[in-house]
């Protein structure tokens, strides 16, 4: 394994978030009864003509700007010819020589802790195209059933360079791309419904060899786990083939999640077989500078920029910044929390959102947007920790109360349940004195050098204070008294 | 450039057109005639001329993203050879 290098490139089909199809006015809503959203254009009835959906182009421009690519001022639609019953025209309208987006790159954070590293993956291109329909091969008296609702759904096909060197890098790329298309609102990212699916081109070569090995393409991977499993299996399979003296043949394969294996679907027809040519039904797509500028103005702050701001302005670690910008919902929640708690509490806010809140949401199977505790409530709670009204431990109680709806604000919960921290040193001192008097054994043990006895005494004082004493003050006072 | 008979058969297969041996011969003649025309055009110096994607110098018209087509399945399927459960039925295809 060690003398082999893995080379992976990924093609992704992202379904664009439009309400109508790319070349017709039929609906793209998911889950409709078969063929109720397939109009004359989608069915390729004689005499129909495609008219391009402006929103689909907007989405492509947004994507191009978000990855720092060149948005082509002139791009051309081409016919990709092949015969399959779920493609009524006998060709798919796609783009070949002049795609709408050229170049660009994604910056990935891979791994955690000491092994974490950054990797830049370059993109080759992204182009607009239409989806095909769906074939159902269950038994219809020995025939196949065709549902054309999906035919004509707008897709952005995003093609990466063969820059990835492991299945982990491939998954990191797919996740970053998935997060980005959702972030900029061009794709809902729903992988179960096929809105975001990946094909992985995988090859292996001896380490140090400049030329790529022969690649096989794994089609239609619709989860990150399958992407990793399929690549891992395929890599091992290719290495075994080569080590046993066989040559890899270029091919298209499918991944079977049940067996965990890839199997050959068809040997790859070469590109000429698709007989691409410019579609005479469609004129060149012209995107002028004004249009690009309008889309640019409308673009939100991107995850990469936000990560850098979190690191440099708020002082978060790279890991925290990456976690908090995993989705726009998460980032928005965090920013609203900091807005209330204050920038000085940026780090505690990060911990509360990433640890306490995330764990609670996870337990209930909720998304962050559904959190019963609002950013304003959480921010208010963190404020009370910062100004020492409550300790971290008590804060967890207050958080739970807010979660259960036992109060509209942290202040209200603290007031109602009498949780305000005792910071009056006189009051704490008398508690300390009581505890020292009642626990002579612990005191003796501590003086004999047993550190553990000290913790027991702290625990006793906190218990006497019902958890409301400031732990630091208790520590200091105890030490002082015991030293006397 | 001229096409061989095998190439003609291959193109016919890609286009899913059945041609008999006799037809392949005459088709070969026709296609090679077209190739001569293309060769003539390729002799023109096009250095520095951008490839033309469309005969007219106009650009693509766009439509707003709105649903304008309702469900007309019943009408469309009335002319289909065979349907069941809302699906169009076709000879079995397996990948």
Q: How many domains does chain B have?
A: 1
User: Backbone phi, then psi, for A125, in 5-degree steps?
Assistant: -170, 165
**A278: closest CA among A482, A48, A74?**
A74
The segment with the largest mean pLDDT, out of A268-272, A415-419, B27-31, is B27-31
pLDDT exceeds 50 at position A271: no
pLDDT tens by residue, A170-199:
999 999 999 999 999 999 999 999 999 999
Interface contact A25-B63, CB threshold 8 A: yes
pLDDT at position A113 is 72
- Confirm or reject contact between A83 and chain B (CB < 8 A): yes
d(CA A303, CA A190): 19
Cβ(A140)–Cβ(A95) below 8 Å: no
| Residue spans of alpha helices (H) in A352-439 | 358-364, 375-386, 392-404, 410-416, 425-438
pLDDT at position A78 is 96
B49 is a domain residue: no
pLDDT exceeds 80 at position A484: no
**A389: closest CA among A413, A416, A422?**
A422
**A187: closest CA among A73, A55, A85, A366?**
A55
pLDDT tens by residue, A76-104:
999 999 888 999 999 999 999 999 999 99
Q: Which residues of B touch A38 (CB under 8 A)?
A: 73, 76
Residues 404-433 of A with CB under 8 A from B: none
pLDDT tens by residue, A185-243:
999 999 999 999 999 999 999 999 999 999 999 999 999 999 999 999 999 999 999 99
Q: Which member of B53, B76, B89 has the closest CB to residue A284? A: B53
Find, in chain B, the residue whose alpha carbon is nearest to that of A147. B87
- Confirm or reject contact between A57 and chain B (CB < 8 A): yes
Instruction: Collect all residues with Cβ–Cβ distance below 8 Å to A277 and sequence separation of at least 6.
Output: A78, A79
**A77: closest CA among A40, A37, A133, A22?**
A22
Coil, strand, or helix at residue A204? strand
pLDDT at position A106 is 95
Interface contact B62-A51, CB threshold 8 A: yes
Q: CB atoms < 10 A from the CB of B48, how many?
A: 5
Cβ(A460)–Cβ(A469) below 8 Å: no
Cβ(A130)–Cβ(A121) below 8 Å: no
**B21: closest CA among B34, B5, B33?**
B5
pLDDT exceeds 80 at position A265: no
**B92: closest CA among A443, A414, A136?**
A136
Interface contact A35-B77, CB threshold 8 A: yes
- Confirm or reject contact between A54 and chain B (CB < 8 A): yes
3-state helix, strand, coil in chain B (%, to 5): 40, 10, 50
Find, in chain A, the residue whose alpha carbon is nearest to that of B67. A25
Instruction: Collect all residues with Cβ–Cβ distance below 8 Å to A443 and sequence separation of at least 6.
Output: A436, A453, A457, A482
Triad A427, A431, A433: Cα angle to 5°: 115
**A82: closest CA among A74, A92, A72, A73?**
A92
CA atoms within 13 A on the CB side of A179: 23
Interface contact B16-A283, CB threshold 8 A: no
Q: Which member of A43, A143, A280 has the closest CB to residue B76? A: A43
Cβ-based contacts under 8 A for chains A and B = 126
Instruction: Collect all residues with Cβ–Cβ distance below 8 Å to B28 and sequence separation of at least 6.
Output: B3, B4, B5, B8
Helices (H) and strands (E) in chain B, counts: 3, 3
Q: How far is Cα of residue A321 from the mean position of the Cα atoms in its chain?
A: 13
- Confirm or reject contact between A176 and chain B (CB < 8 A): no
Q: What is the dihedral of CA A371, A375, A380, A381, to 10 degrees?
A: 40
Interface contact A144-B59, CB threshold 8 A: no
A163: exposed, middle or buried (Cβ count in 10 Å: 0-12, 13-18, 19+): buried
What is the CATH classification number for the domain harbouring B29?
1.10.20
**pLDDT tens, N- to C-terminus, chain B (95 residues):** 688 999 999 888 888 899 999 999 999 999 999 999 999 998 999 899 887 777 777 888 999 999 999 999 999 999 999 999 999 999 987 65
Protein fold of A425-483: Arc Repressor Mutant, subunit A (1.10.10)
Q: Which member of B59, B73, B82 has the closest CB to residue A35? A: B73
B79 is a domain residue: no
Cβ(A65)–Cβ(A100) below 8 Å: no
ipTM above 0.90, yes or no: no
Coil, strand, or helix at residue A482? helix
pLDDT tens by residue, A148-177:
999 999 999 999 999 999 999 999 999 999
Coil, strand, or helix at residue B72? coil
Across residues A434-451, what is the average pLDDT?
A: 82
Report in angstroms the alpha-carbon separations of A296 from A58, A71, A94, A102, A289. Answer: 10, 11, 25, 17, 10
Mean pLDDT rounded to a whole number for chain A: 91
pLDDT exceeds 70 at position A1: no
Interface contact A36-B86, CB threshold 8 A: yes
Minimal Cα–Cα distance from B78 to chain A, Å? 13
Interface contact B64-A55, CB threshold 8 A: yes
Lowest mean pLDDT among A332-346, A431-445, B67-81: A431-445
Coil, strand, or helix at residue B45? coil
- Confirm or reject contact between A280 and chain B (CB < 8 A): yes
Residues 127-146 of A with CB under 8 A from B: 135-137, 140-146
How would residue A266 be classed by pLDDT, with cut points 50, 70 and 90?
low
CA atoms within 13 A on the CB side of A425: 7
d(CA A479, CA A90): 85
Sketch the domain layout of chain A as residue ranges: 4-291, 302-416, 425-483
| Residue spans of alpha helices (H) in A49-128 | 54-66
pLDDT exceeds 70 at position A269: no
d(CA B32, CA B3): 6
Q: What residue numbers bound the domain in which B24 lies?
A: 5-42
B58 is a domain residue: no
Interface contact A135-B93, CB threshold 8 A: yes
Instruction: Collect all residues with Cβ–Cβ distance below 8 Å to A182 and sequence separation of at least 6.
Output: A188, A189, A327, A328
d(CA A210, CA A206): 9
**B87: closest CA among A39, A143, A153?**
A143
Interface contact B65-A53, CB threshold 8 A: yes
A255: exposed, middle or buried (Cβ count in 10 Å: 0-12, 13-18, 19+): buried
The secondary element (H helix, E strand) that includes residue A48 is: none
pLDDT exceeds 60 at position A277: yes
Cβ(A177)–Cβ(A106) below 8 Å: yes
Minimal Cα–Cα distance from A53 to chain B, Å? 5
pLDDT at position A270 is 47
Helices B5-14, B21-42: axis angle to 10 degrees equals 100
Triad A34, A40, A41: Cα angle to 5°: 105
Instruction: Collect all residues with Cβ–Cβ distance below 8 Å to A58 and sequence separation of at least 6.
Output: A295
Find, in chain A, the residue whose alpha carbon is nearest to that of B55. A280
pLDDT tens by residue, A104-125:
999 998 887 778 888 999 999 9
Q: CB atoms < 10 A from the CB of B69, how many?
A: 17
pLDDT tens by residue, A290-326:
999 999 999 999 999 999 999 999 999 988 998 899 8
Residue the block writes with tokens 């802790």:
A113
Residues 44-73 of B with CB under 8 A from A: 51, 53-54, 56, 58-69, 71-73
- Confirm or reject contact between B91 and chain A (CB < 8 A): yes
Q: CB atoms < 10 A from the CB of A293, how many?
A: 11
């Amino acid at each position: 394994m060690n003398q082999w290098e893995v080379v992976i490139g990924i093609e992704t089909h992202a379904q664009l978030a439009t309400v109508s199809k790319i070349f017709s006015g039929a609906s793209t809503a998911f889950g409709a009864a078969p063929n109720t959203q397939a109009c004359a254009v989608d069915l390729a009835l004689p005499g129909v003509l495609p008219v391009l959906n402006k929103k689909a182009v907007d989405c492509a421009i947004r994507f191009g700007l978000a990855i720092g690519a060149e948005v082509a001022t002139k791009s051309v639609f081409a016919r990709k010819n092949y015969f399959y019953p779920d493609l009524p025209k006998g060709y798919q309208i796609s783009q070949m020589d002049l795609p709408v987006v050229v170049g660009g790159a994604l910056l990935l954070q891979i791994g955690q802790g000491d092994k974490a590293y950054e990797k830049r993956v370059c993109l080759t291109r992204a182009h607009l195209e239409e989806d095909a329909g769906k074939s159902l091969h269950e038994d219809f008296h020995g025939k196949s059933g065709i549902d054309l609702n999906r035919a004509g759904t707008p897709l952005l096909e995003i093609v990466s360079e063969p820059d990835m060197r492991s299945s982990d890098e491939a998954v990191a790329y797919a996740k970053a791309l998935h997060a980005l298309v959702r972030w900029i609102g061009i794709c809902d990212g729903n992988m179960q419904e096929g809105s975001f699916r990946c094909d992985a081109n995988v090859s292996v070569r001896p380490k140090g060899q400049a030329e790529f090995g022969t690649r096989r393409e794994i089609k239609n991977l619709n989860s990150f786990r399958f992407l990793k499993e399929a690549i891992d299996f395929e890599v091992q399979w290719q290495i075994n083939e080569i080590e046993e003296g066989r040559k890899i043949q270029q091919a298209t394969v499918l991944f079977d999640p049940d067996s965990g294996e890839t199997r050959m679907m068809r040997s790859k027809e070469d590109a000429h077989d698709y007989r691409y040519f410019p579609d005479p039904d469609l004129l060149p797509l012209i995107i002028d500078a004004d249009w690009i500028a309008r889309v640019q103005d409308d673009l939100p702050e991107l995850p990469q920029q936000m990560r850098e701001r979190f690191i440099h302005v708020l002082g978060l670690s790279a890991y925290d910044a990456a976690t908090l910008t995993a989705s726009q919902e998460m980032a928005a929640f965090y920013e609203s929390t900091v807005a209330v708690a204050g920038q000085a509490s940026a780090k505690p806010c990060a911990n509360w959102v990433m640890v306490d809140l995330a764990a609670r949401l996870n337990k209930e199977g909720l998304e962050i947007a559904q959190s019963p505790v609002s950013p304003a409530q959480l921010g208010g709670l963190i404020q009370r920790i910062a100004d020492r009204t409550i300790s971290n431990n008590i804060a967890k109680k207050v958080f739970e109360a807010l979660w259960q709806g036992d109060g509209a604000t942290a202040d209200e919960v603290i007031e109602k349940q009498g949780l305000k921290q005792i910071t009056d040193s006189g009051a704490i001192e008398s508690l300390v004195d009581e505890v020292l008097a009642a626990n002579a054994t612990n005191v003796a043990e501590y003086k004999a050098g047993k550190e553990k006895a000290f913790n027991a005494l702290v625990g006793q004082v906190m218990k006497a204070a019902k958890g409301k004493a400031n732990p630091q003050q208790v520590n200091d006072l105890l030490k002082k008294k015991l030293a006397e | 450039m001229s096409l061989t008979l095998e190439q003609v058969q291959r193109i016919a297969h890609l286009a899913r057109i059945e041609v008999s041996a006799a037809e392949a011969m005459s088709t070969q003649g026709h296609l090679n005639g077209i190739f001569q025309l293309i060769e003539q055009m390729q002799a023109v110096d096009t250095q520095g001329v951008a490839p033309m994607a469309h005969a007219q110098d106009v650009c693509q018209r766009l439509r707003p993203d709105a649903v304008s087509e309702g469900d007309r399945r019943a009408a469309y399927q009335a002319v289909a050879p065979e349907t069941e459960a809302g699906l169009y039925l076709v000879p079995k295809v397996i990948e």
